[in-house]
Amino acid sequence: MAESDGVFEDPLYTDPQFAQLYDANFGPERADFDFCKRLAADAGSVLDLGCGTGALLAALSKGRNLTGVDPASAMLEIARQRPGGERVQWVEADARTVRLERRFDLVLLTGHAFQVFLTREDQLSALETIAHHLSPDGRFIFDTRNPSLKSWKRWTPEDRQQIEHPEHGNVETWNNVSEDPATGIVSYETYYRILRTGRTLSTVSQIVFPQKDVLDELLDAAGLAVEQWYGD
């Protein structure tokens, strides 16, 4: 795995076999979907940056103009095959640099995708992309895990779970995590063991957990105004 311009190149997203396991792991409905659906109720056009396998846009697909952007072709291939995916324009591009030359009523950067941007420069670039694509009265939703909860400390082999994969059947998954105190970068190994065959696949990911005061500075620098913070 290599780091490219402040983003860790991660087979978890770019390798087709890992992308399928990722999709099976996180399922068609995340906990934030209902929240996003409510805010999207009056949005005629929606842009999802870092859309991954497209589950959220597919859930929003009726009666809206939808665009999903992701740098990983393996993720977008799954998104295109998803029910409702045919009603979405899928774009292979980087959230830091993409410019679609149109504006949207709602821009999303969810599923903790913001955390893959490891430097403030890249975090600001992603937020500037949001600002560039918002209509004058548009709104945006983005999320990142609360660093004070230190949730990564619970990503241990003891916290393993089983998921159902359409091809491989039951798959056991778990993580090993390490943190670099100097940079704040959290590295975690994700393991998938296919129970039917005993085969184990693994990959390494890197993310950061930016503090709220840093987010405030970045949002202000990007020209974005916060209506409401949510979280615990």
Over the stretch 33-77, which tens digit does the pLDDT of each residue have?
Answer: 888 888 888 899 999 999 999 999 988 877 789 999 999 999 999
**Separation of alpha carbons 203 and 208, rounded Å:** 17
Dihedral sign, Cα of residue 111, residue 7, residue 211, residue 131: negative
Phi/psi of residue 187, nearest 5 degrees: -105, 135
| pLDDT of the residue at 2 | 45
Residue of 211, 205, 217 lying closest to 147 (CA atoms):
211
Residue of 110, 108, 71, 116 lying closest to 210 (CA atoms):
116
Query: What secondary structure letter does DSSP report for 190?
Result: E
Over the stretch 137-154, which tens digit does the pLDDT of each residue have?
Answer: 999 999 999 999 999 999
Over the stretch 97-140, which tens digit does the pLDDT of each residue have?
Answer: 999 999 999 999 998 999 999 999 999 999 999 999 999 999 99
Please count the residues of the chain.
232
pTM: predicted TM-score of the whole model, two decimal places: 0.89
Task: Give residue for tokens 């998954």.
Answer: 173
Average pLDDT for 151-172: 92
In three-state form (DSSP H/G/I as H, E/B as E, the rest C), the secondary structure along 104-124 is EEEEEECCCHHHHECCHHHHH
